Chain A
Amino acid sequence: MEMDNFTFGITMLVAGMGGTLATLGLLSLMMAGLGKLFPYKEEGKED
């Protein structure tokens, strides 16, 4: 796909930064979920 520098830069900003924010947002939710699923207090039981 041939594209000029302006289009390339804006695409990288939107898709790259947007993708980074979305990925880290998703991972943040997953980690929060894992924290709830496996809370520290239940460590003894789960082991």
Chain B
Amino acid sequence: MMEAIIAGLGGLVIGFKLLFVNWQNLIMLGVGGVLLWLGIKKDCEPLLLVPIGFGCLLVNVPLSDVMLKDGFVRTIYDAGVDTELFPLLIFIGIGAMTDFGPVLAQPYTFLLGAAGQFGIFLTLILALYIGFPKLDAVSIGVIGACDGPTAIYVTSKYAPHLLGAVAVAAYSYMSLVPVIQPPIMRALTTDKEKKTVMKFTAKPVSKTTKLLFPIVITVVGGCIAPKGLPLLATIMLGNLMKESGVVARLTGAAENEIANVVTLFLGLCIGATMAGPAFIRAETLIVLGLGFLAIILDTVCGVLFGKVLYVLTGGKINPLIGAAGISAFPMAARVVQKVGSQYNKKSYLLMHAMGANAGGQIGSVIAAAVMLSVLAGMGVIR
């Protein structure tokens, strides 16, 4: 009987023993702790980093079965990530929360939103050069969309083994936009360009235009890039509900209850893909490095495109607003305003930058949709 008791008690300490055998799990428990610290103490994308950090802890506890068949996180993963449902549901919420008025008031800012996507394709080329397979390179490049749900949608579909690294990179770098962008903006523009004052006359947009916007984007964008239709359609459905004003309950649910529940589940699932042995590899570090580069390249290309517009318009457009052509909304627009006002107190770039930023949000979705359709056209995906 004594032996049985000792064996039974041994079952209680086996986890501690394995903790020191599987050093990768031990390191990842530390990583999970860092993610929780960033979210809780540093307010760095807490809605995502807290569940991701906790999911990372969960999966790295020795003998954890949460991601094994029928494990509770695996069940959520299969239902929402494997089916690409979660990022799409989040997109409905994002559409319901976003006011595309600034980009509709200045449609040229759509082009700034396009320029901010160059990083996706340049990083894709770099990833291919390093030796990543084609679809892995596509998933790494899409970190440059600066758009978590888009990155998760593409990666979960075409390179699920990179999901943890890509998602963490996408969300962490998005929250680092105020740190990453300003030095690049300062380095690429002259003092004269930075001080450019852009006139802004509030140009209200009619309700009809706001209502037609999501419908036109869905139909036209869907015809051009049908493989990305789910991405386009969900964000536009959310926006149509918001602008119509007739389904306030659905809009409220999309931007609150649905978005909150899905964010919790999605974060937990992403964290649970960060199991030590699978995550601690040179590949992960390279993915994180390339993701960082993607966002730098987005900013560089956005500002350079802003400089082209500055020349074409005879100095009427401040090139700094090009940096806002990414999807980190409205953070990138605020960064532009802050940097611009440091050089010219009379410069008020926020509304122009908001247009570029909203354009960037559409731009990132369009870029991913176009990319998927080009891949399908080449026969790389079905």
Listed in ascending order, the chain A residues whose CB lies under 8 Å from chain B are 1, 3, 5-6, 8-13, 15-17, 19-21, 23-32, 34-35, 37-40, 42-43, 46-47
Contact B117 A20 (CB under 8 A): yes
Chain A positions within 8 Å of B378 at CB level: 1, 3, 8, 11
Q: How far is the CA of A5 from the CA of B125 in the complex (A)?
A: 8
Given A8-B128, A40-B204, answer yes or no on A24-B114 (Cβ-Cβ < 8 Å).
yes
Assess the A15–B366 pair: CB atoms within 8 A: no
Main SS of chain B's interface residues? Answer: helix
Between A and B, 27 residue pairs with Cβ closer than 8 Å are A1-B378, A1-B379, A3-B378, A5-B134, A8-B380, A9-B129, A12-B138, A16-B367, A16-B371, A19-B374, A20-B363, A21-B111, A23-B225, A24-B111, A24-B359, A27-B220, A31-B107, A31-B213, A31-B216, A34-B104, A34-B209, A34-B212, A35-B104, A35-B206, A35-B209, A39-B206, A46-B208
CB closest residue in chain B, given A26: B220
**Across-interface contacts of B220 in A (CB, < 8 A):** 23, 26-27, 30
Residues of A within 8 A of B113 (CB): 24
Interface string of B103-131 (1 = CB under 8 A from A): 11101101101110110111011001100
Query: Which residues of chain B are near A30, meaning CB under 8 Å?
Result: 216, 220
Residues in B with CB closer than 8 Å to A28 are 107-108, 110-111
Q: Decide yes or no: A24 and B363 within 8 Å by CB, A19-B370, A31-B107 being known contacts.
A: yes
Q: Is there a chain A Cβ closer than 8 Å to B231's Cβ?
A: no
Q: How far is the CA of A45 from the CA of B110 in the complex (A)?
A: 29
Asked, given contacts A24-B111, A32-B107, whether A11 binds B216 with beta carbons under 8 Å apart, the answer is no
Residue of A at shortest CB range from B211? Answer: A38
Q: Which residue of B lies closest to A3 (CB)?
A: B378
Q: Find chain B residues with CB under 8 A from A21 CB.
A: 111, 114-115
The 8 Å CB contact of A8, one of B120, B134, B359, is: B134
A42 CA / B206 CA spacing, docked (Å): 8
Within the assembled complex, what's the spacing in Å between the Cα atoms of A12 and B207? 37
Q: Are B121 and A23 in contact (CB under 8 A)?
A: no
Q: Is there contact, CB below 8 Å, between A34 and B370?
A: no
B177 at the interface (CB under 8 A from A): no
Q: B207 to A29, Cβ gap below 8 A?
A: no
Which residues does chain A contribute within 8 Å of B221, judged by CB atoms? 23, 27
Q: Is the interface on chain B under 10, 10 to 19, 20 to 34, or 35 or more residues?
A: 35 or more
How far does the alpha carbon of A8 sit from the alpha carbon of B128 in the complex, in Å?
Answer: 9
Task: Give complex CA distance A15, B127 in Å.
Answer: 18
A15 CA / B220 CA spacing, docked (Å): 18
- Interface flag for B198 (CB, 8 Å): no
Q: How far is the CA of A34 from the CA of B216 in the complex (A)?
A: 10
- Neighbour of B110 across the interface among A5, A11, A25, A42, CB < 8 A: A25
Interface centre among A25, A26, A31 (most CB of B within 10 A): A31
Q: Are B107 and A12 in contact (CB under 8 A)?
A: no
Which B residues are CB-close (under 8 A) to A13?
121-122, 124-125
How distant is B340 from chain A, measured CB to nearest CB, in Å?
23
Most B CB atoms within 10 A — which of A16, A30, A37? Answer: A16
**For B122, what are the chain A residues with a Cβ–Cβ distance below 8 Å?**
13
Q: How far is the CA of A16 from the CA of B134 in the complex (A)?
A: 14
Q: Give 16 new A-B contacts, CB below 8 A, not counting A12-B121, A46-B206.
A: A9-B124, A10-B125, A16-B121, A16-B370, A16-B371, A19-B374, A20-B114, A20-B370, A21-B111, A24-B363, A27-B216, A28-B110, A29-B107, A34-B104, A34-B209, A40-B205
